[in-house]
Structure formats: structure tokens, C-alpha cells
Amino acid sequence: MKNQNMSDILLPLSSEQLNNLKQLESTCTNIQSAWLSGYFWKIANQRSDTKSLTINQSNKSNQVITIISASQTGNAKSLSERLHEYFNKNNKISRLINASDYKFKKIKDEKILILIISTQGEGEPPEEALSLYKFIMSKNAPNLSNLYYSIFGLGDTSYNLFCQAGKDFDKRFKELGGNSLLDRFDSDIEYEDNYNKWSQDLLNSIDNKEINSKNSLLSSGKEDRTKFSKSYYTKKNPAKAIILTNQKITGRNSEKDIRHIEIDITNLNINYIPGDAVGVWYKNNIDLVKNMLELLSINMFDTIKIKNDLITIVDALQNNFELTTNTKNIVKNYAIITNNKFLKNIISNDANLQNYTIQTPLIKMINDYPSKLSSEQLISLLRPLTPRLYSISSSQAETQDEIHITVGVVKNLISGRLYLGGASGYLAESLKPDDTIKIFIETNNNFRLPVDQNTPIIMIGSGTGIAPFRSFMQQRDNDGSNGKNWIFFGNPNFTEDFLYQTEWQQYVKKGLITNMHLAWSRDQEHKVYVQDRIRENGKEIWSWIEEGAEIYVCGNASKMAKDVEKALLDIITKNSGLNIEDSHEFLNNLRVNKRYKRDVY
């Protein structure tokens, strides 16, 4: 607001309101002014969000069931939508809401709450559920003795803290007096059967519970169905698009292999918004498949049944199963099937098993300890292949019938042989121009540009984390936005790893990018990262925050994103006069007010 004319801002106020505001303004420090700005912004949004539920007179005795979706890759969102429709078909009044839109301080008014939540990183809740998580875990969390709840957790057993986010919420709800409708269900990536049973049991449990219906129609937030907009193309029904370009954009001597890939979506009627991701169904490398079969003495022409279809084992491994990620269950089962003494010793100690799983890809384990297996035994070990999500690095306003993605190729040298990541290797090496690719759009309403095009934004990313910010700048350029733009970007070397360098230079030249600070970790003896550049510019960053800037972070959740958050907390503490505890609260308020947004993986 600093550079705006005061009369332009205050036109909607009466003379008395204007005088009162000026008197208050004259007594406020900078930090108090910043706090008031966020306070009134939040009040305005709460008022605009207030909606009464329209419910048939005949249903007034029923409880309103609140379904909260807390998703990382879209699975929790999809299941939440299905549960919402399932309840409606069975004459239950339910409302569906994204965790980031939930007015969490009103959770004390809920009677029936269903949470479908994924886990990311090191046992953490998904980004969109962080504010709810922090509130529930805080000393300010309310008594929930009037609440009946159920939790369906989504996770991956290859991680040590499997479904930890769901477990944390379950434990805390119980501590706060909550009553479990149905025991928490923790599901691996093969969740379909588990979900079907859980949803049926949940409906039965709700039918059988005698819950006091008083105040049953209290609403603790809005039901915004637009947040769950559907596309004709989905994970189960992907579009068939065409590859236009597959270009390496890191230098010859770079330690990274990063590809710029352009996808033609002409005539597919696909729409996307900057911040969205594209889901890619990939195929496993044929050489990897053949090598695995050879090590396990399995005939390539063996046939097996997949979903009532009889196909060759080669086709099954290429298209239906995950081959590049090892898990504790795979190691355990392989040790038992092969009766391998070394592996049996590993699985006897959980810590050793966890370390071995992290450090040893599936193909390396098989290469080190080959054994004769049947096709059925091999399939019994494996998990189903799932699509990979990539942040879209283009704006449809500029590229029209194209989607651009920025892909870092995963490479592992195992026993003198190079193996690529499943999806990244497929995108980098298997696809050429004119090839077909199966895709779908995964919306990400928690990583959007500000509605007000005058709002300044700060974008922080490293490596392929720069991808969504390319789409942001294309969009702001096409919109003619006047908001200031500041980019922090880090990678190993300036000459080898400056992704989209000429584009950024053009944006700087035309004035679209106000500031750009770069961190090249390997270009000097002392390593420099984006968080270092952030601290160096702390005073100016704070002034942007006071002006209402929105902050975006994209990149690795366990490393870069955590270090960046520490740097932001240091800046807030140093420049606001707040202590570290209040700085945490300040940053969380930015998150709640959609001014601090992260797309981390």
C-alpha cells in the first residue's frame, strides 16, 4: 500500500470512519500496521466466505458431515470427492472442503468430521493442511468431546513414517476428547479396496451412532466445489497428447540432466492455470525389464493375468508395476522367497532394514542376490505403477495448445551399469518428437498467483523448482500485471545450470522482474544457497512483506524448503521486533491468509 494514493484506497469509507482510521494509523508502528492489514484482510474473507447451507426440510434432523481433503498428489482429493458423492447418494448431508480453506478455529462446532489425508516428506502433513495441523497441535486447540471423527490415511510403505500425518491427527483428536466413529485406516498406494471397505464401514457407523442432533446444521466454513473442478481427463482416463520438444537445458559439464519438454494438446480441450501440475503415465525401460527377468531366470514369453487380461510378463513389467523404488515390504518378501541369509539378517533389524531400503534400489538388490523366481512370485513382490506429477512450467495464455514441463533426470550407477528413474528416464530417453504420451491435469489451487495483479510476489526455488515460476512470469507478462516480481534461484553452476537464462534476462530487461538473486553452490569455495541470498536481502524482503507481498517456495521439502523457512523466520524476527515464537505465528498467519504458499516434494 505504500505507493498508492490514500484517497484511492479509502473511497469506500465514510468521513467518520476515515478520521478514526487516520487517528489509529498515527499511533501504529510498522509491525502494528502490517498486523492490522492482515487482520482486516482476514475479516473481509471470513465475511465473504460465510454461506448458509441449503437443506431440504425433510433432512433437518440429519447431521452435517464435514469431509476435509488434505492432498499432496491428488489421491486424497479424489477419494474425498467420491466420499462426498457416496454420502449424498445415501441421503447424508455432507460438505466437502479443502484443508487450506477450512476455518479451523471453528472445528469445535463440528459434530461429524471425516479427514482424508496424505503424508509427505518425513512424516509431515501435506502443504495445504499445515495451518490446520499447527492449530490442532497447539495449546489453543479446543476441546473436541462433541466431535465424532474418522481418518483415512494415504501413504507409502517405502517410507519409514508411513501415514504419519493421519496418525498424528488421530492421536491429537483423541487427546482433545474426540470420539472415533471408526478406527483410522492407513493405506498404501494400492488404496482402492481399502477405501471401498472403509467408506462402507464408515456409513454403517454413522447410521448406528446416536449423536445428539442439537446444532447439527452449524457450518464451520464454506463448501467451495470450484476448488474441486473436474476435467474430462483424469488419472484413470488420461489424454493422449503428442511430444513436440525434448531438449536438455543443462550444460555438457553439468552434474544434472534437466530436460525442457513441450507437449501438444491441440484439440484436447485441456485447460490449466499457472501452479497446476501435469500427471504423466510412464513406461518402464525395456532394458531394465529384460535385465530383471534375466537375473530372476524368468522366461520373457511367460504370460500372467492382469485385470482379467492375459499379457506377457514383459508387458506387465513395462506398463503395470513400479520397478525403480524399493520398499521394506519388498525386501522382506524377497528375503523370504529367496531364503537369502544376508537379507534375512537385514530384515531382522528395523533400522538396518530402513537404511538398506533407502540406499538400495530394487534392481541392485536383485543384481546382488539373484535367484530363480516364477513370474507370479515376482509380481507378488511389486507395487502397481502410479503416474508422476510435474509442475507445469508454462502459461496457457502464452503457449496456447502446449504444456511445458521441466524434468530432472534421476540417474543411479549400479554395479557399473547406469539406471534411470522410472518416469524421468521415460521422459528423457524414451520419448521423441511426435511420440504419444498419456497425461492429465492435477489442479493445485493452493499455489496460485494473486487475484490482484498489483500484488508483489517473491518466488523462491532451486533446480527444477523454478518451473512454476516460469509459468507465473509468462502469465503476468501476458496480463500486463503491475505487481513487482522477485526471484531467488539456486543451482550448482552459473555456466552449466542457469535454467531458462535468456528468458529471465529478457524479463529483467523489460522490467517485469524487479529483483533476481542467484545462488551457485559450486562456483566458489564456500557453498552458497538460496537461503543465504534470502538472509542477505532480509531488510528489503521484510519491506515487501509489509507491502502485502505473497511468498512462493518450490523445491525439495526436506532440505531446501526447510532451510528457506528458517531464513524467513530469521528475517521476521530481526526486522519485526517479534520473538521467535511470535515469528512462527506471524509466518503461519501468512500461510493462513494465502500469502505464504509452498509446492514442495
Q: List, for residues 192-205, the tens digit of each pLDDT value.
A: 888 999 999 999 99
Is residue 495 annotated as involved in ligand binding? no
Is residue 336 annotated as involved in ligand binding? no
Is residue 388 annotated as involved in ligand binding? yes
**Which SS3 state, helix, strand or coil, does residue 97 take?**
strand
Is residue 481 annotated as involved in ligand binding? no
Q: Is residue 1 predicted with pLDDT exceeding 50? A: no
- Which region among 212-226, 299-313, 426-440 has the lowest average model confidence (pLDDT)? 212-226
Is residue 408 annotated as involved in ligand binding? yes
Find all residues with CB under 8 Å of 502, minimum gap 6, and list them.
none
Q: Is residue 3 predicted with pLDDT exceeding 50? A: no
- Which region among 23-32, 339-348, 536-545 has the lowest average model confidence (pLDDT)? 23-32
User: How crowded is the C-beta side of 468, counted as CA atoms within 13 Å?
Assistant: 30
Q: What is the DSSP letter of 363?
A: H
Q: List, for residues 375-387, the tens digit of each pLDDT value.
A: 999 999 999 999 9
**The three grid cell numbers given for residue 34, joined into one nine-digit string:** 502490517
Give me the chain's average pLDDT, please: 87
pLDDT of 418 reads 84
Is residue 225 annotated as involved in ligand binding? no
Is residue 391 annotated as involved in ligand binding? yes
**Which SS3 state, helix, strand or coil, does residue 434 take?**
coil
Q: List, for residues 141-194, the tens digit of each pLDDT value.
A: 899 999 999 999 998 877 778 889 999 999 999 999 999 999 999 988 788 888
Is residue 157 annotated as involved in ligand binding? yes
pLDDT of 517 reads 97
* Same fold: 239-282+387-442 with 286-381: no
Is residue 74 annotated as involved in ligand binding? yes
Chain centroid, CA 530 distance in Å? 21
- Which region among 58-72, 142-156, 221-235 has the lowest average model confidence (pLDDT)? 221-235
| Residue 31: pLDDT band with limits 50, 70, 90 | low
**Measured distance CA(559)–CA(539) in Å, rounded:** 24
Is residue 455 annotated as involved in ligand binding? no
| 251-257 LR contacts (CB < 8 Å, sep 24+) | 251/493, 251/495, 251/496, 251/497, 252/496, 253/493, 253/496, 254/492, 254/493, 254/496, 254/497, 255/492, 255/496, 256/408, 256/409, 256/463, 256/491, 256/492, 256/496, 256/497, 257/408, 257/409, 257/411, 257/428
CATH number of the 286-381 domain: 1.20.990.10
pLDDT of 441 reads 96
Is residue 158 annotated as involved in ligand binding? yes
Is residue 424 annotated as involved in ligand binding? yes
Q: What is the DSSP letter of 476?
A: H
Is residue 538 annotated as involved in ligand binding? no
Is residue 52 annotated as involved in ligand binding? no
Domain boundaries 457-600, CATH class:
alpha beta
Q: List, for residues 125-138, the tens digit of each pLDDT value.
A: 988 899 899 999 98
Q: Is residue 54 predicted with pLDDT exceeding 70? A: no
- Is the domain covering 59-224 a CATH 3.40.50.360 domain? yes
What's this model's pTM, rounded to 2 decimal places? Answer: 0.74
Is residue 531 annotated as involved in ligand binding? yes
Is residue 337 annotated as involved in ligand binding? no
What are the residue boundaries of the structural domains of the chain, listed by start?
Answer: 59-224, 239-282+387-442, 286-381, 457-600
**The three grid cell numbers given for residue 12, joined into one nine-digit string:** 469506500
Q: Are strands 596-600 and 550-555 parallel, antiparallel or unpaired?
A: parallel
Is residue 121 annotated as involved in ligand binding? yes
**Measured distance CA(207)–CA(211) in Å, rounded:** 10
Is residue 123 annotated as involved in ligand binding? no
Is residue 133 annotated as involved in ligand binding? no
Q: Is residue 390 predicted with pLDDT exceeding 90? A: yes
CATH number of the 239-282+387-442 domain: 2.40.30.10
Is residue 166 annotated as involved in ligand binding? no
**Which SS3 state, helix, strand or coil, does residue 246 take?**
strand
Q: What is the DSSP letter of 392?
A: B
**The three grid cell numbers given for residue 505, joined into one nine-digit string:** 534476462
Arithmetic mean of pLDDT, 497-516: 96
**The three grid cell numbers given for residue 156, joined into one nine-digit string:** 507409502
Is residue 358 annotated as involved in ligand binding? yes
Is residue 113 annotated as involved in ligand binding? no
Helix and strand numbers (H, E) in the chain are: 23, 21
pLDDT of 104 reads 83
Arithmetic mean of pLDDT, 531-538: 97
pLDDT of 105 reads 78
**The three grid cell numbers given for residue 8, joined into one nine-digit string:** 484511492
Chain centroid, CA 389 distance in Å? 9
Chain centroid, CA 371 distance in Å? 39
Is residue 380 annotated as involved in ligand binding? no
